[in-house]
Amino acid sequence: MIDIEHQGIITKLYLNDPDSLNSLSIPLSKALVEGLKEVSARPQTRCLIVSGRGRMFCSGGNLKEFFTVEQPLDEYIDDAMVRVYNPVAAHLASLAVPVICAVNGPAVGAGVAIALNADFTLMARSAWFKLPFVPSLGVVPDFGCSWFLGRRLPRHKAMELMLGDAKISAEEAASCDLIYRAVADDQLEEQALALATKISQLPVDAVRMAKDTLVKAPENSFAEQLQLEREYQVACFCSGYFKEGLAAFKEKRPAKFSQ
């Protein structure tokens, strides 16, 4: 259901259920949680790339599963979201290392939320987003989709995307800052790897702490954010990374942070 490849300090995770167009079935979602736990527990990993196998990145929830449910659907979805679906989004959001999502093909519904959960989202130019929750199914966006849309876009634009039924092209997603960049299809993997390599060469502790400051900033008061920055800065000044950075500045050369 998923493939994990470790390339030194970079880890790649692929959704790999092309027969269902990488739909987020319960088995695939459980496999994804376990894969993210594996990544989180691997100290060598400095950056994670998430992508998909086949012609779609992710087709969203697997609607075929609902036809086999015997209990009331509201009870079923409540239990599934608590046990399976929400943990996917939570584990992805809580990763300490930077996450790059390489959207190799169309992403629908919850697949859009998975893509937006990354720190950097690159989309192949032929890819597109679609949010069919309200207009096609009469349900609300989930997997954290509303959280990301509400923070990245003006309310009227977020509402337009949630209530409309149009496809959102990679170029449009990039132009409104919904994603990091739209790239040529044949350059997607190369550019994602190049970005991951660049990030992975930075001081690992400073990268993780910098990411955490951005994650916590929207919820912190200004005073709380200053305190967090102070704690992390003290920790950074004690590290060998800062000593190398200071020496490089003095010697007018690029810093060489050891891995």
Residue 125 covered by a domain: yes
Which pLDDT score, from 0 to 100, does residue 259 have? 53
Residues 211 and 116 in one domain: no
pTM over 0.75: yes
Distance CA 56, CA 179 (A): 17
Chain segment 200-237, per-residue pLDDT in tens: 999 999 999 999 999 999 999 999 999 999 999 999 99
Query: Would 186 be classed as within a structural domain?
Result: yes
* 193 shares its domain with 208: no
Tokens 């290392």 belong to: 97
Taking only the tens place, the pLDDT of each residue in 11-32 is 999 999 999 999 999 999 999 9
What range defines the domain where residue 222 resides?
204-250
Q: Are 105 and 56 in contact (CB under 8 A)?
A: yes
Residues 132, 233 share a domain: no
What is the side-by-side strand order in the sheet with 107-108? 107-108, 128-130, 168-169
Cα gap 43→160, rounded to integer Å: 41
Q: What is the pLDDT of residues 30-68, one digit of tens each?
A: 999 999 999 999 999 999 999 999 999 999 999 898 889
Residue 257 lies inside a defined structural domain of this protein: no
Per-residue pLDDT tens over the stretch 101-152: 999 999 999 999 999 999 999 999 999 999 999 999 999 999 999 999 999 9
Query: What's the CATH code of the domain at 58?
Result: 3.90.226.10
- Distance in angstroms (rounded) separating the CA atoms of residues 126 and 44: 33
Q: Domain tally for the chain?
A: 2
Residue 255 belongs to some domain of the structure: no
Whether residue 227 sits in one domain with residue 187: no
106 and 230, same domain (yes or no): no
Residue 3's pLDDT is what? 96
CA 163 from chain center: how many Å? 23
Assigned token pair, 79: 């239990």
258 part of a folded domain: no
